[in-house]
Structure formats: structure tokens, C-alpha cells
């Protein structure tokens, strides 16, 4: 039992000598520490270089934006803000009939304008809805029936996104070279593609808005507004209800057989021109009206055929008072 205290754990003799050897070899901590320091310095250097390249590229992008695009961007943001605020404000209340006594609708054609038509319910939550809601606007004929050719507001918003404050703020906050290269390339492409249109659109002098108060312009009334964008002064506002009829006409040449008469009374163009005519009347200009029911061409043709079969040439008058010879 006395020998128990003299027992020692067995160790492998790796070297064959008389000295006891450790069970595991010692780790080369000096080399490991040196390699770790080298990797840390390399990663730190790469991070510093990446940050320097990122900062340099960001500075280049911001310099190009501030020197070349900032004047147009500021004008765009001002016009876009007026459109959003005026549209949201108009949608929140019914229109009252008002016209600036100096307004001449025909004179608007000599200047540049912007046009927007929206359902009033599309912007009930505020100005921030106007941009997205406008992108769904199909074309109409109201401005054309007034003899005007304004630029569409949906195209203004679709093309001008890179001039918004939020876009350049995101570009300024980009934290990598890759993100900034994407920003720089987008800025380059959109400047070439969209800037010519935007440079012209931001010089618009007036803004026309039509708000639909129902499901469509044919059955429900609309509110129409016109603003001077330079002073943001209201020039015209009114509540209008379309009541138009499209009068179709055709000529039969030689022995051609006339086809069936197609009435265009319910087409969108007829309703749009009816709204435009009311705007002209409110502005103190002569609007097109019909003092009698829509003509019935078939009756006129029948009467004309009877006159020809009788061998004569007589004047035939339709129910609408249109004389056909």
C-alpha cells in the first residue's frame, strides 16, 4: 500500500529518451498570433480602402447631382409639391364655381401646361397618394376639346422619381461601392432618357385638374380646376356634368352601299367635349351646344332615296334641322 503514493501517470515517450514527454505537442502560439495580426491588418486595410473608395465615389455622384441636376430638381420638387397639395385639397371638398376675369382659355395654348384626371377617392388620404394614383390615369379628350395639348402629370411623376429628395438621400446614405455604382449608372441613364422631358415639364405655366366624383365621367359629375403654377393662383373651378352627343357623318362615293349608322352618343370623347364646352362657357367664351335632338340620318337617307326615285332633286330636312341636298 505504501507504493501507491509513488505512482505516476504514464506518458508516451515520443523521443525515446529518459525524460517524460507531454501527451500533446505544444501549439505554435507565436506563429498563430502573427498570422492573426496579419489578417486583422489586411482586413482593416481593405475596409479602409473600401471606405475611401466609397466616399470618393459618393462625393463624385453628389457633385455631379448638385452641379448639373440641382436647379431642375428643385424646380421639379416645387411643381410636384404644388400638384400634390392642390389635388389633395380639391379632393377634400366640392368645387365652387369661380373664374378669374382675366382668364382666356384660348391663350393657354401659347404656354406649356400640365394635366391630371383622377377619381376623388384616390387621394382621400392626402398628397402622398397623388403620385401613385396618377400612374393609373388613362388618356381622355377634355384638354384636346379645349384646343390644348398639356403634358400628362403621370409621365412627370414616372420620369422624375430620381429628382425627388428621397432618392438623393438614399444615394447619399449608400454604404458600399457596389450600391453607389448602381446609383451612378441609374443617374446617368435617367439623365439621358428622362431629363429632356423633365426640363420642359418643369417650366409649365398652368395646371389643369379634373376630379371624377363618381364611377365615370358619363354618369357622374366632375370637378374641374385650373391653376397658375407660377403664382399658385386659382384661375378656374367648377362642377360640371357631361351631356354630350357625338354626331357622326359619312359620304357615299359612287355606287358604294351605305352601311349601318353607328351612334357615338355614349362615347367618352363626346362626354369629354361636353365637359370642355361647359368650361368654355364658364370662362365667358362661346361653347358648342345643341339646341335640338340628335339627327336621325336614316330618315334623311330614306327621304333622299324617295326624291331620287321620283326623278327630282329636292331639299330634305332632318329632325335636327340639318338640311341635306
111 plus 184 within the same structural domain: yes
Whole-angstrom distance, CA of residue 261 vs CA of residue 301:
11
Alpha-carbon Rg for the chain in angstroms: 39
Domain that holds residue 154: 45-240
- Label residue 169 by pLDDT band (50, 70, 90): confident
218 plus 303 within the same structural domain: no
CA-nearest of 177, 178, 193, 240 to 214 is 240
Is 0.85 topped by the overall pTM? no
Domain count for the chain: 2
Whether 250 maps to a domain, the answer reads no
232 plus 305 within the same structural domain: no
211 plus 92 within the same structural domain: yes
Tens-digit pLDDT profile for residues 42-69? 555 555 677 777 788 888 888 888 888 8
Cβ neighbours for 115, distance < 8 A, ≥ 6 positions apart: 142, 143, 148, 150, 151, 152, 153, 207, 208, 209
194 plus 60 within the same structural domain: yes
For residue 259, give the C-alpha cell: 352601311
The residue written with cell numbers 327621304 in the block is 303
What is residue 98's three-state secondary structure? strand
Tens-digit pLDDT profile for residues 198-240? 999 999 999 999 999 988 888 889 999 999 999 989 999 999 8
Domain boundary among 240, 263, 281: 240
The neighbour count for residue 273, using CB atoms within 10 Å, is 22
Per-residue b or e along 38-65, where b marks 16 or more CB atoms closer than 10 Å to that residue's CB: eeeeeeeeeeeeeeeebeebbeebeeeb
CB 116 within 8 A of CB 174: no
Amino acid at each position: 500500500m505504501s507504493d501507491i503514493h509513488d505512482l505516476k501517470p504514464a506518458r508516451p515517450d515520443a523521443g525515446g529518451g529518459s525524460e517524460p514527454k507531454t501527451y500533446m505537442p505544444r501549439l505554435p502560439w507565436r506563429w498563430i498570433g502573427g498570422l492573426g495580426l496579419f489578417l486583422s491588418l489586411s482586413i482593416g486595410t481593405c475596409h479602409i480602402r473600401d471606405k475611401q473608395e466609397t466616399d470618393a465615389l459618393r462625393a463624385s455622384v453628389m457633385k455631379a447631382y448638385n452641379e448639373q441636376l440641382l436647379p431642375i430638381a428643385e424646380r421639379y420638387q416645387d411643381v410636384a409639391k404644388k400638384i400634390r397639395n392642390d389635388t389633395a385639397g380639391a379632393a377634400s371638398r366640392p368645387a365652387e364655381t369661380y373664374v378669374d376675369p382675366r382668364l382666356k382659355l384660348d391663350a393657354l395654348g401659347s404656354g406649356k401646361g400640365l394635366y391630371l384626371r383622377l377619381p376623388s377617392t384616390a387621394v382621400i388620404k392626402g398628397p402622398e397618394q397623388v403620385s401613385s394614383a396618377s400612374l393609373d390615369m388613362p388618356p381622355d379628350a377634355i384638354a384636346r376639346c379645349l384646343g390644348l395639348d398639356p403634358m400628362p402629370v403621370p409621365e412627370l411623376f414616372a420620369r422624375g422619381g430620381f429628382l425627388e429628395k428621397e432618392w438623393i438621400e438614399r444615394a447619399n446614405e449608400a454604404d458600399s461601392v457596389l450600391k453607389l455604382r448602381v446609383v451612378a449608372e441609374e443617374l446617368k441613364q435617367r439623365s439621358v432618357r428622362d431629363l429632356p422631358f423633365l426640363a420642359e415639364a418643369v417650366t409649365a405655366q398652368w395646371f389643369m385638374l379634373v376630379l371624377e366624383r363618381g364611377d365615370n365621367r358619363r354618369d357622374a359629375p366632375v370637378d374641374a380646376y385650373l391653376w397658375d403654377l407660377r403664382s399658385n393662383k386659382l384661375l378656374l373651378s367648377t362642377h360640371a356634368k357631361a351631356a354630350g352627343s357625338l354626331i357622326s357623318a359619312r359620304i357615299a362615293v359612287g355606287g358604294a352601299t351605305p352601311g349601318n349608322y353607328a351612334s357615338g352618343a355614349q362615347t367618352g370623347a363626346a362626354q369629354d367635349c361636353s365637359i370642355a364646352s361647359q368650361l368654355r362657357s364658364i370662362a365667358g367664351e362661346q361653347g358648342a351646344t345643341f339646341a335640338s335632338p340628335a339627327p336621325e340620318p336614316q330618315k334623311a337617307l330614306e327621304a333622299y332615296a324617295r326624291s331620287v326615285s321620283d326623278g327630282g332633286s329636292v331639299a330634305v330636312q332632318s329632325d335636327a334641322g340639318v338640311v341635306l341636298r
